Structure 1
């Protein structure tokens, strides 16, 4: 039998163009899948945080960034994170120890100064000095002076503690009275309040399905 030979002749660059087209389809699908997963994780995660008793503002600190930030890539990736440094304790639960003590705002103290959560350090920085009240057999307190009227001093009814009254007391003019603002404790045990790792893992497991949904040959 005579030997036969053959070869395929393709237009110059045809294979390269076909490979590039397939790569583009794959990159679009991979990036679309990652965006879909990240969007779902962020939405469900924030809902879970609010369900745990936290504010919408606190929930909005939970973020999901997709990379690359522009364009598409077959190696698309997502970074799930939060901007609050103590956030993770509410995911796992656990005990927070003081160094040497934790100072917790009393219910009667203002909850915030401006838009920031009330803390001793913020109080000293924004309003004025604090001084300790040591109690035998009881937790220590941090107190400040509050500005009051002559009538309030006479009746003993100082009304609601506000930042304005505290600033007046810190200024030192007029009648004033000491009021406790913080109580010191050695440690605080916090319960698990949300399930962000479970939510993230569930959508990571769906990446194959998201990829298939986004795989379109236009």
Structure 2
């Protein structure tokens, strides 16, 4: 059984305390610089991974990796926090099945993506714009549709152009020519495959921490 070495200093002198403080600063600086380097690598590589999976720049920028302490402070206990600001983003890291309750209503490609700054959902649409009504299709997933305002010429020609919130608000007002446009499709469940590899990126960079620490300590 291996022994242990313990050192106890009673009433240390000022010189001893100063010597220990002098040793702490380069250690703290190396630890902090190494952690910042790892955190930055994770952020850069993670965002590139999200973009390569076909997600938007906004999705990529919502992936954060921050080192602490921040600013000009240093600490031997430096740490990093890795997170994604979009609360349901983890499903794209792990994959999985999302079940409806009983139905999941997904916006169609032609549906506006947002109302204001919020992602469009049936409940948000109803509260912000107007009513929705179901379209039942035997043997096919049901739809939720709304009335959209169009010009008399567009209604006659059948060419309605892009679906916009402005046109939908006009349709919800009940004035002028209107047409029905499907906005959401209802499904029982959706099977999401793994899209991100953020955990693997984090683990690979964490393994480099000791090398980065040594490099910064020697450079100091």
TM over 0.5: yes
In structure 1, the gaps of 5 or more residues are 1-11
SS in 1 for 2:49: helix
SS in 1 for 2:182: strand
Trace 1:85-104 onto structure 2 (pairs within 5 A).
Answer: 85-104=87-106
SS in 2 for 1:215: helix
1:189 and 2:207 are equivalent in the alignment: no
1:143-169 CA-partner distances (Å, limit 9, x unpaired) = 100001222222333222222111110
Matches of 1:125 and 1:212, distance apart in 2: 58
**1:25 aligned residue:** 26
**2:174 aligned residue:** 172
Matches of 2:97 and 2:53, distance apart in 1: 18
Kindly indicate whether the alpha-carbon contact (under 8 Å) linking 1:25 and 1:216 is maintained by their aligned counterparts in 2: no
**2:50 aligned residue:** 49
In structure 2, the gaps of 5 or more residues are 1-12
**2:143 aligned residue:** 141
- Cα deviation for residue 108 of structure 1 reads 2.2
**1:9 aligned residue:** none
Normalising by structure 1, we get a TM-score of 0.89
Matches of 2:45 and 2:111, distance apart in 1: 34
Normalising by structure 2, we get a TM-score of 0.88
Trace 1:50-69 onto structure 2 (pairs within 5 A).
Answer: 50-69=51-70
RMSD across aligned C-alpha pairs, in angstroms? Answer: 1.6
Once superposed, which parts of structure 1, at least 4 consecutive aligned residues long, lie more than 4 Å away? none
Choose 1 or 2 for highest CA Rg.
1
**1:16 aligned residue:** 17
- Cα deviation for residue 132 of structure 1 reads 1.6
